[in-house]
Amino acid sequence: MSGSALTLAGLLHQYDGGGGFTLRCPEFSVAAGESVLLLGESGSGKSTLLSLICGILAPKEGRIDIAATELSKLRPAARDAFRAEHIGVIFQQFNLLPYASAQDNVLLPLHFSSARRARVTDPPARARALLAALGLPEGTAAVAARHLSVGQQQRVAVARALIGAPELIVADEPTSALDATTQGTFLDLLFDQCRAAGSALLMVSHDPRIGSRFDRVVELADIVTTERAAAA
Ligand SMILES: Nc1ncnc2c1ncn2[C@@H]1O[C@H](COP(=O)(O)OP(=O)(O)OP(=O)(O)O)[C@@H](O)[C@H]1O
């Protein structure tokens, strides 16, 4: 499994509440260091699939392998620890700690994973270097996340995902709040950093225009089938 950052097989997920949304993914994989854009309409199940891949949701059936570990076999606490160590997640809403500085937000994953921490020689210096490489103005590292612009918060979220070079970066529409020019610059920086860290990148979006930057573009509908329970 050394050539694969992520492998899904026979996956089945069903939400207990809500509209009875069911998602099946027979097979899908991302190679080590590969960048893949997953395209799908709103409501098609992109975030659900990413939550399964990150171990935030557990599948009813099937298996998820990341970095040669069967994530789907782990209990919730072990899945959280695994995520901290092997996956950098960039959420749609960034999920930054609002009162913590940009630098402290970037350092957060290292508190949850000693292995990831061990891969960074000087964490504060690395956090500042990542923020600078992602285009944060000098001095911004000390500013509380809640005082940063949306674009700056996006960069902090990316630096937090990248620190400690996890095998897989998972990004849920990270450019949705950016204009076209800023989006291009942001993606250049994200790709540079993923390449430097050797991380695979799986990004979901509904915007096909960014596809040319990726090694592979996949339509969600080609890898998953979904069903909704009929309304009562
Ligand atoms: N917590 C939940 N409980 C029950 N059903 C849910 C839950 N979250 C999502 N769903 C259902 O799953 C479907 C897929 O949602 P999901 O967020 O995965 O889609 P998406 O493609 O990421 O959408 P968007 O692009 O708008 O973020 C939704 O239409 C909704 O019906």
- ipTM attached to this prediction: 0.96
CA of 135 from ligand 1 middle (Å) equals 32
pLDDT at 47 over 50: yes
Q: Is 175 a pocket residue for ligand 1 (Cβ < 6 Å)?
A: no
Residue 176 in domain: yes
* Domains identified in the chain, total number: 1
- Helices 180-197, 150-162: axis angle to 10 degrees equals 10
Would you place residue 228 in the very low, low, confident or very high pLDDT band (cuts 50, 70, 90)?
confident
Residue 4 in domain: no
Q: Which of 182, 164, 165, 183 is nearest to 173 (CA)?
A: 183
Q: Which residue has the tokens 């076209």?
A: 180
Looking at residue 232, what is its pLDDT? 52
Residue 1 in domain: no
Q: Which residue has the tokens 């939400």?
A: 15
CA of 60 from ligand 1 middle (Å) equals 17
pLDDT at 49 over 60: yes
Residue 24 in domain: no
pLDDT at 179 over 90: no
Output the pTM of the full model: 0.89
Q: Is 124 a pocket residue for ligand 1 (Cβ < 6 Å)?
A: no
Q: Is 116 a pocket residue for ligand 1 (Cβ < 6 Å)?
A: no
What domain range includes position 185?
Answer: 33-58+74-217
The residue whose C-alpha atom lies closest to atom 10 belonging to ligand 1 is: 21
CATH number at residue 136: 3.40.50.300
CB within 8 Å of 65: residues ≥ 6 apart: 1, 4, 6, 7, 8, 9, 71
Q: Is 155 a pocket residue for ligand 1 (Cβ < 6 Å)?
A: no
